[in-house]
Structure 1
């Protein structure tokens, strides 16, 4: 039997926030994968190890969770006033497919470091010591993100004492600014309402806040689902009936938001929208055993990603949480400790701990607008070199 050597492709394996993924420089991908399309998707799925009917991604770089089945492509920016273009792909695990419909806020934290390490930042803009502002054009959603990356002796600083719940070890703090994070047409609320009545067959009518900020997100009250808002992963993810019910709500929310034209399309659009349920601040024990005091947070939030309860909180969903909390009348604002007031900063409890995110919201010309959302993350290069794929990707 004739055999061919595996193909070798330059790559970096990086953690950003509470996610990790395989990063590529666009110019170092095979020619067939430098443009969007089936050839690119097929290559990236094989690198990650999908589709895997066993759900483990053993024969690839993926970690068999939504937080670890990710790819990133970075290139010199084609947009004026930006340093790099950043394209994110959420790879399905058991089925074939990559969802390019939204951003990954967590991995955004690693994009600036990748750009610096790969020589994509003009040398005169890189300090010997201090912070380098990397101007990122997020291609999936057409938005600007500014990453403030710490630099020491001309190199990206990765060590530090910044702690992020959901990540076991501390690192250097990277500040992210999501500019004008609303949908491309500027409509925060696609229906024009801060609270909608979402009709879900077999479940009933649910009050919901549907918002496009950071990522399209559906917020519902935990109590309307029979939850407290303090649930951990196993309580949801080990209940197939609960997951099916939550996916049904997400699908009908997607239809209400105009993201899909037919309810059946939701199955192939798993990355967006996100579904989250909110509750008033209360004390609970996080996944690590850490006690979270209700007096230290403004609300509790649990969110689903790719059909499962997230172990912490997606960065993009954090932008949506902060944006909704900043606007009186939304379900998110209603459950906060400062209900009825516009919150410029909100601290919420998630399954792994707490997170603080800021948002600047203004009511202008008869509608709400969010100018900027701000959060801190950390990032670290885990491995660099080459990934290998079998000839023919078999």
Structure 2
């Protein structure tokens, strides 16, 4: 990318992805049940090699991938992104055994991953999470089944007791990246990351009926045993694992939002150019034309900021937290603006169940909250500016 303009190969790849999303993935998404993991869709993402790209791409390529899929099939985009979010800590901080056990299955779309950070009392303030990991000096048996666990007796493990809430892919995931408080220090310094298979004794969950069509649930930990072999990184260093993951994925959340905004904008251009009104078409009205111009300008500005943040991440820039926060903030707020005005310009037709804009209107709200609400992004930006 030069001067924030995509090269010919990148443009061709994005076009190919948009076509795949519409022709191959949308039919599978339509057959899925809202609020449930769509395993056939995940398998298709694996067969097409798109899940592999999540783990081998830089931040910019990840953004192009997410934006292009979101344009044609938001369900496919979300399924892909959640695999990356849940499994990236395994890639970045896992042991060779953990990577060998889980990552091939995730890349193939056969194992469902989840990122379990939020709690009933600790959503936006991730450093305030309270799920305790209490030292278990006795046996910390990790169970069998999918966990492939072994006894940590004599080594010393932990037991997890408490709740995680608003966890995407819960309770249907096959494993969870869980962040718990082991107490090596105050606030963020006492957080540890664990890989917890779904069949671990004491772990249960229930789905939550949410506005977003992808699965979200609550997890309950009733003395769930974890041992040293379940650690992702070092004890007390889990917050860094979480932030490294979020810094990578925040610009691509912005890319997801840009994809939705571009889909809404294109639908609006087509509709207002053809819809008869007052002796011409809607697009002839200055009020409509100016509104569409504003939608297009904001979408382009958000797209460029997302690309800039991704480029900074790939270049190892020290200001990644600020750039990532700016990209997520502007893109998600812009997408909300664009989709809302697209609905307004379409009128009642856009409110019909099954209409593209009705779907986008439901989808576009959640990204302003998850992976750090807009208010949190502003706080991050301000702290970085005054640092």
**TM value normalised by structure 2:** 0.30
Larger RCO, structure (CA 8 Å, separation 6 or more): 1
Report the structure, 1 or 2, having the larger helix content: 2
Report the structure, 1 or 2, having the larger strand content: 1
Larger Rg computed on CA atoms: 2
**TM value normalised by structure 1:** 0.30
